[in-house]
Amino acid sequence: MAAHAEAHHGPPIAHQSSRVDAPTLGMLLFIASEIMLFGSFFTIYFFARVVAGPDQWPPPPFHLPVFVAGINTAILLTSSFTMHWALQAIKRGNRAGMQAGLVLTLALGLTFLLTQIREYSRVGFSPQDGAFGSTFYGLTGLHGAHVFVGLTILTFATIRAFRGHFTAAEHRGVEISGIYWHFVDVMWIVVYTTVYIL
């Protein structure tokens, strides 16, 4: 008993999953909370549509740039593939491939965000324009904020990649960044389908 007590000092070792490491689990739990946040915004959006009745949505004279948003969707989906490429490259020990994938993902994500901002400046209505305006800007703005956070995470991952911090054996920073970025992409598909298509 005394020998066992001398073998370990400090507080007890925390319980850890044998399948998911703590940083990845933390990111997954964070994403679960973000899904609930988006869920509340979707609830408000659909409530506004139900209250508006069976009339045309968006209500006149509002019009949504569906084509531009579709192009932006293709850009963001492409960034998911480049992020996946970056992760697979470093898993194979291909540092140059990882760097290229991260830079492309950053460029595509920034293009998406700048296009979204330009859309806001040309769409012709503001958050003050009734329930439609507030729910449109609420949902798309919430997603835009998540894209910005994702770009910040990717920027740090890219800097670390060019400093040689990741290897085939240790690439958790790329993997966790990718998990968040894929979440942002999937959530945009839901937002785009809900706001622009339905």
Indicate if the pLDDT at residue 189 is higher than 50. yes
List pLDDT tens digits, range 106-140. Answer: 999 999 999 999 998 888 888 888 888 888 899 99
Residue whose C-alpha is closest to residue 136's, from 62, 70, 84: 62
Residues in contact with 115: Cβ distance below 8 Å, sequence separation at least 6, in sequence order? 68, 71, 72, 75
pLDDT grade, residue 177 (50/70/90)? very high
Residues in contact with 104: Cβ distance below 8 Å, sequence separation at least 6, in sequence order? 79, 82, 85
Tokens of 30: 């964070």
Indicate if the pLDDT at residue 2 is higher than 50. no
List pLDDT tens digits, range 145-160. Answer: 999 999 999 999 999 9
Q: For the residues 65-89, what does the mean pLDDT come to? A: 93
pTM value is: 0.85
Amino acid at 6: E
Q: Supply the DSSP string of 74-125, one letter for each residue.
A: HHHHHHHHHHHHHHHHHHTT-HHHHHHHHHHHHHHHHHHHHHHHHHHHHSS-
pLDDT for 53: 73
Residue whose C-alpha is closest to residue 133's, from 198, 27, 57: 57
What fold, for 22-54+66-197?
Answer: Four Helix Bundle (Hemerythrin (Met), subunit A) (1.20.120)
